[in-house]
Structure 1
Amino acid sequence: MSCELSETATPEDFARPRWVGQPDVLERAQRLSQKFEEAYGRAPVGVWAAPGRANLMGEYVDFSGGMCLPFAHQYVTLTAAAPREDGVLNAQSMQDADESVADDRPRSTRIDDIEPGVISGWFGYVAGVSWGMNRVARGASAHPVAVPELGLPTSFGADLMVDSTVPIGAGLASSAALECSVALSLFSLNTGNDHPNDALRRALARACMDAENYIVGANTGGLDQTASLRSHAGEILALDCRDFDVVRLPADPALAGLTWLAIDTRAPHKLADGQYSSRRAECEAAAAVLDVPTLRDALPEHPTPDDAAAVLDRFDHLLEVGAELTEDRENTRLRLRHSMTEMVRSVQIADELHSDSPDWAFVGRLLVEGHESMRDDCEVTVPELDAAVDGCLSAGALGAKVVGGGFGGSVIALVSLESVDRLAAAVQLCFAQNGFREPLFLTLQPSEAGRRIL
């Protein structure tokens, strides 16, 4: 596809790109509080917000124990809430019907009746959180450390209303933002604690992960929920998915005259249709051949590209001598190559961001390598995503890649502040030339984690 922009072209030569405005979170919270009172006949106790996330590197490796580099952005989902004493959970949304968050019809269930296979659609993300909190409270989660503070009494219930500024279906973690804002609201209503510490936030993220894995049926690995609940403003998380420990890396590209640009391709983005789960199954099959608990265990503590290549050679040798493989051989090897090289790229970027003066051009090159791996080895891009990356690079971006699970969604690009408009024009032109829907543009800043707003 052609994504070339003439060197003499200016942004005025093309249709004006559509920008998503910066959210006024306090104003949205106040409006949500009013809508809650109109719907339920009483004021909410409070309003909680949780952000979506972007990810610099570490796609499809969280469930394999790899390092991811997410940050929470400034677009949030809000939950207004008030307690009930009858064990009933009610929820309404201010969003129109869409792919992942909601429509405006009220939903209701008894919390004790929530279980896998019972609740579908957007309400699964909400109701699943209460189920996940009780699961983590009794140590039944995949990381079986009981956290009784998360347990909800049998009589506990809540009225909820949600609103979101996170673009839905854009691959910027609107579903995790919904889960995490609900989790904070339920935790606060039940305990009176509006400021959970990092250990409790880790447990709440686990509850949200369980909601998505078991109630919603998306076999994701916890990257999104961790970023939404445990990020700090102005920082990127180096998230070790073996134990969910985090190192916070100061990362302000504005000091170098750069910014993060997200392009919402508006291609449908869905993870609960089996595509994500099939990639996970192939990675787990590769780990079984290599006889390691997770693919991260096949690499040394500080892996290099040579280490990644050695794992691939070992995988090939084991198959040649008769190791059993439960998934398609070609696909599994591609997923393994993506996983190994992606884990190395994450470590390389984290090392660079540790330095006092990061080499942002090097980071940008790694972003491009990450996109190529997502396209060729993980096979999760679509033409719109590839066009957005090509358009960014043709206009001078230092790097660009798909962000999130792919199959639609968004691209994140590292661009100079002075070239943002020109770059958006390039992508706009590329999409028009290829007959794609008009994209949306957002600038992203590493922002604070979920918190109470009102």
Structure 2
Amino acid sequence: MKPQAICSAFERHYGITPAGVWSAPGRFNLVGEHTDYNGGFCLPVPLDRRTFVAARRRSDDRVRLTSLEIAGDADVDLREVTAAVPGGWGSYAAGTVWAFRQAGHRVSGVDILVGSDLLIGAGLSSSAALECSVAAAVSDLFDLDLLSDDAHRAELATICQTAENVIALAPTGGVDQTSALRGRQGHALLIDFLDGTLRPVPYRPHAAGVEVLIIDTGTRHSLASGHFGNRHAECDRIAGLLGVDCLRRIGVDDLSAAMQALPDAILARRLRHVVTENARAVAMADALEQGDWHAVGEGMTRAHESMRDDLEVSVPEIDLAVDTALAAGAWGARLVGGGFGGCVLAVVLREGVPAVTDAVRAAFAQAGYGRPHSFTARAGDPARRDA
């Protein structure tokens, strides 16, 4: 999607020229699901597919929103933005403007037009890409200079997460916003959510002769749905039962005793996922630095087994795509994102890509599912001004 096309669409819709165009990437998380809100480790990569916004500041408090992809324009007074208002996708965008005021920044209303080449609801962080592109625009429109360095970008990530948690009512952690705003082109980012440190790790699948495929199963989820919130609440309950402030405090050596201290097997499995997922994230970062993509693939498969069996967030279409990709020669495969639908990541030798994609397509047809779509996961740039 070209910035000029977004500008032209803004002019047609609002009858005025935008002040600029900004964008932010989606992300694919190599490993580290449901660990950010538990003070753990995540290993995301900013995707080369993005959400773009054309925007112009207003002198009043109106926030007007329209999208080229999603129906349902929004027009709301900034002073009236609250939980689930304006609702839908508009809560992510208007909520971001609202969150600037909550953080003490003097901002007024804005006119915004959104365009995107990201899959929506597919586990690739389309919601955070929207928030972060809006945040980049607001920062520049009101001369806040919050894109200038990593410390200010960290503040923007917090603003965006506040919008998602409080206005869009999605009880997520900060991995998506951190990746979109603070990621580095050509790198994965090992994020430690206990102390806030970042460790850039080279993302070079081509050097090993492999591709990382994103297989869109056609299933969709919503982070604001009850399923995601239930897992968050279960983890909070486990922390309370174990007397810790977050599950990151439980290490692999402590896991067996901690599981035995919990009152039921479901909570024990949830804990096992978080603890082992943290260990997998650190190990996978090391494997990336060493160029060991066999180990990366193996870690992905173990992560999927944990999400399927311990966290219980997979669905039949996802499991079929994972199992079929592995049977067709993938070095590893897993559900990507918060779960309950979306996409699969698979590490595949470059020459084996056609066999894997054809096998998944055939398996879906035999099962009576919709046709899956696959593309290569390439690293992109963090949030920026485009025009």
Contact 1:76 1:164 in 2 (8 A): yes
Q: CA 1:194/1:58 → structure 2, altered by over 3 Å: closer, same or farther?
A: closer
Q: State the Cα distance separating 1:194 from its structure 2 match.
A: 7.8
How far apart, in 1, do the equivalents of 2:163 and 2:266 lie? 29
Q: Quick one: which of 82, 94, 99 aligns to 2:56?
A: 82
How far apart, in 2, do the equivalents of 1:30 and 1:93 lie? 15
Q: Quick one: which of 133, 147, 152 aligns to 2:100?
A: 133
Which residue number corresponds to residue 49 of structure 1?
A: 23
Which residue number corresponds to residue 85 of structure 2?
A: 118
> 1:216 aligned to 2:168?
yes
1:313 is matched by which residue type in structure 2?
Answer: A
Contact 2:56 2:141 in 1 (8 A): yes
1:266-320 CA-to-partner distances (Å, cap 9, x unmatched) read 1122221110111011111111122111000122xxxxx5x2xx3232341x34x
1:63-105 CA-to-partner distances (Å, cap 9, x unmatched) read 001100001011100000011111211111111xxxxxx31x4
Q: State the Cα distance separating 1:106 from its structure 2 match.
A: 2.7
1:307-363 CA-to-partner distances (Å, cap 9, x unmatched) read 2xx3232341x34xxxxx6xxx232111101111111111111222233xx221111
Q: How does 1:64-213 map onto structure 2 within 5 Å?
A: 64-95=38-69, 102-103=70-71, 105-135=72-102, 137-138=103-104, 151-153=105-107, 156-191=108-143, 193=145, 195-213=147-165
Contact 1:169 1:266 in 2 (8 A): no
> 1:420 aligned to 2:387?
no
Which residue number corresponds to residue 272 of structure 1?
A: 224
% identical aligned pairs: 42
Q: State the Cα distance separating 1:134 from its structure 2 match.
A: 2.2
Contact 2:84 2:91 in 1 (8 A): no
- Give every structure 1 segment of 4 or more consecutive aligned residues whose post-TM-superposition deviation is greater than 6 Å: none
Which residue number corresponds to residue 364 of structure 1?
A: 297
1:184 is matched by which residue type in structure 2?
Answer: A
Contact 1:263 1:412 in 2 (8 A): yes
Contact 1:194 1:451 in 2 (8 A): no
Which residue number corresponds to residue 429 of structure 1?
A: 362
1:405-445 CA-to-partner distances (Å, cap 9, x unmatched) read 11010001111111111210011011111111111111111
Q: State the Cα distance separating 1:192 from its structure 2 match.
A: 6.2
Equivalenced residue count is 387
Q: CA 1:411/1:86 → structure 2, altered by over 3 Å: closer, same or farther?
A: same
Q: State the Cα distance separating 1:109 from its structure 2 match.
A: 1.2
Q: State the Cα distance separating 1:244 from its structure 2 match.
A: 2.8
Which residue number corresponds to residue 286 of structure 2?
A: 351
How far apart, in 2, do the equivalents of 1:113 and 1:249 lie? 42
Q: State the Cα distance separating 1:116 from its structure 2 match.
A: 1.7
**Alignment RMSD (CA, Å):** 1.4
SS of alignment partner, residue 353 of structure 2? helix
Which residue number corresponds to residue 195 of structure 2?
A: 243
Q: Quick one: which of 288, 294, 313 aligns to 2:257?
A: 313
Which range moved further: 65-74 or 289-298?
289-298
Contact 2:76 2:86 in 1 (8 A): no
1:35 is matched by which residue type in structure 2?
Answer: A
Q: CA 1:202/1:192 → structure 2, altered by over 3 Å: closer, same or farther?
A: closer
Q: Quick one: which of 386, 390, 394 aligns to 2:319?
A: 386
Structure 2, unpaired ranges of 5+ = none
How far apart, in 1, do the equivalents of 2:195 and 2:141 lie? 29
Contact 2:147 2:153 in 1 (8 A): no
How far apart, in 2, do the equivalents of 1:370 and 1:393 lie? 14
How far apart, in 1, do the equivalents of 2:11 and 2:274 lie? 48
Which residue number corresponds to residue 212 of structure 2?
A: 260
Contact 1:290 1:315 in 2 (8 A): no
Contact 2:46 2:180 in 1 (8 A): yes
Contact 2:202 2:288 in 1 (8 A): yes
Structure 1, unpaired ranges of 5+ = 1-24, 96-101, 139-150, 300-304, 320-324
1:372 is matched by which residue type in structure 2?
Answer: E
- Tell me the TM-score normalized by structure 2: 0.97
How far apart, in 2, do the equivalents of 1:174 and 1:116 lie? 20
Contact 2:139 2:147 in 1 (8 A): no
